[in-house]
Amino acid sequence: MKQSTPRSRVPGASFFLNISAMAGGRVLSIFAQVLVLPIIARYLTVADFGAVALAMGIVVFAQLLSDCGLGRSLIRRSELVPEEWDSVFWLLAGLGTLLGLTLFLTAPLWEALFNMPGLAALVQALSVIPLMQSLSAVSNAALERDERFVWLGGLRAIAVVLSLTVTIWLAIAGAGAWCLIVQQIVLFATLALGAAIASPYRPQLRLEPAWLTGHLRFARDTVGTSLVFTLQRQAPVMMLGYVLGAGPLGLFSMALRLLRLPELGLSGPASQVVYVRMARRASDPAGIGALYIAALRLLALVILPGMFCLAGFAPDLIPLLLTDRWGDVALVFALAAPAFALEASTAMAGMAFYAAGQTTMRLRMATERAILQIACVAVAVPFGLNAVAVALSLFALAYTPRLWWYTGRAAPFAQRKAFAAVAWPAAVGILAWFVSSLFVAPAVAQDAGRLMAAAVGIAIISWALGALPQIAALRRDVALLRAG
């Protein structure tokens, strides 16, 4: 890979182009998934969704280890040393191979543990994904370091459309749960191949341990944090699958596909772009904190009113899109919406910890948060899906001030600014939820076209109401993010 300095550009000119490219690729992929869900929901059973959710919940632990955060660590380096990048590449290649083999060989044990016939074959098929992620991690890091987010956004859009096309074909052909398994394999294979083609990095056969020391220290806390966060996220899936079985887990899995759309479509890609800006201010913790508040305000404005509005229309909208047999998903979605909306809005905190080099502090916070949330979910699981959804939302609301306290120690900012960034959009969203569920949705529930139009209209009004009182602050935030 050529050792070069970043291309010159007008200050700030690329920031929103990069955000638009990454978010655009995700939004296109989400739009495709929303269109596809009503199709595959008619061909797959609730138990099919539950089995795939459990298989992917097992594999995801290997997926997070496949990179170990070493890609992020490479991006933080001011100089590009080919020997260093090659050493990281071969370390990850070996790790990915080991993870894939471990998954393949232990799959029968998972099937026996959850007493779910066919689970082992699903896990074994998915075991190739960690290897693909390991092999593409360094290529992706090179692309992000050069801020080639337009390519990354376009690649994700292509990968999603291709994988969903295959999914529809297999679902109609009667492949059942396997259509979702193949979807994941095609998705990650396309992403890995595209990154390898576009990246300026080309691996050479050399592994020098001396270049790995600093990265392994970074990876230690990063992997620990990722494991804890993944355990926190997968605990409800595992506990529901173990206690209630594949059927209820399938309903929860479908709700999660909808609840995580803001994270996948907006806060996720935004974090990738903002992290590069934060990393350049590694010696200025207060500057990182200012960037976090700016990103928080913008994300909260877009996500909170939109999610609460959807929660109000969910009881009528979800059965319309997915058929009546998925009607129970609507209440789960509505009850858990505050948790996922708030988590997506505040997700940039993780990037602030990374940029400030406070990975140990992030690990401490993540461990504390995971233990408390898992305890809440464990208490709620015996009472069913809806109780779990309520528990998730109550926990998110209660823990957010603590999250800001930790983040403020790594990247100083006034907590009142964080509360101010979230409070008004949340209030507007709650009002939209109330109006939608009690007045608007019941009045147009029998007309699909009017129902969809009403949902869009209420969302637009909510965004406008959320933005108007804080126009000056939003302008300052945009200027700060453009300046980087």
Which H, E and C letters describe the chain, residue by residue?
CCCCCCCCCCCCCCHHHHHHHHHHHHHHHHHHHHHHHHHHCCCCCHHHHHHHHHHHHHHHHHHHHCCCCHHHHHHHCCCCCHHHHHHHHHHHHHHHHHHHHHHHHHHHHHHHHHCCCCHHHHHHHHCHHHHHHHHHHHHHHHHHHCCCHHHHHHHHHHHHHHHHHHHHHHHHCCCCCHHHHHHHHHHHHHHHHHHHHHCCCCCCCCCCHHHCHHHHHHHHHHHHHHHHHHHHHHHHHHHHHHHCCHHHHHHHHHHHHHHCHHHHHHHHHHHHHHHHHHHCCCCCHHHHHHHHHHHHHHHHHHHHHHHHHHHHHHHHHHHHHHCHHHCHHHHHHHHHHHHHHHHHHHCCHHHHHHHHCCHHHHHHHHHHHHHHHHHHHHHHHHHCHHHHHHHHHHHHHHHHHHHHHHHHHHCCCCHHHHHHHHHHHHHHHHHHHHHHHHHHHHHHCCCHHHHHHHHHHHHHHHHHHHHHHHHHHHHHHHHHHHHC
How far is residue 345's CA from residue 351's CA, in Å, rounded to a whole number? 13
* Least confident span in 89-103, 128-142, 211-225, 268-282: 211-225
Residues 6 or more apart from 462 whose CB is under 8 A from it? 305, 306, 308, 309, 428, 429, 431, 432
pLDDT at 257: 86
Q: Residue 4: which pLDDT band, with cuts at 50, 70 and 90?
A: very low
- Is pLDDT at 77 greater than 80 in this prediction? no
Q: For 41-49, what is the mean pLDDT?
A: 88
* Least confident span in 23-32, 159-168, 226-235: 23-32
| pLDDT tens profile 284-296 | 999 999 999 999 9
- Is pLDDT at 214 greater than 70 in this prediction? no
Q: Residue 17: which pLDDT band, with cuts at 50, 70 and 90?
A: low
Evaluate whether 286 touches 363 at the Cβ level (below 8 Å): no
* Least confident span in 355-359, 373-377, 415-419: 355-359
Q: For 16-29, what is the mean pLDDT?
A: 60
- Please tell me whether the overall predicted TM-score, pTM, comes out greater than 0.85 for this model: no
- Is pLDDT at 364 greater than 70 in this prediction? yes
Q: Residue 16: which pLDDT band, with cuts at 50, 70 and 90?
A: low
Mean pLDDT of the chain: 86
How far is residue 115's CA from residue 126's CA, in Å, rounded to a whole number? 19
Higher pLDDT, residue 390 or 156: 390
- Is pLDDT at 175 greater than 60 in this prediction? yes
- Is pLDDT at 204 greater than 80 in this prediction? yes
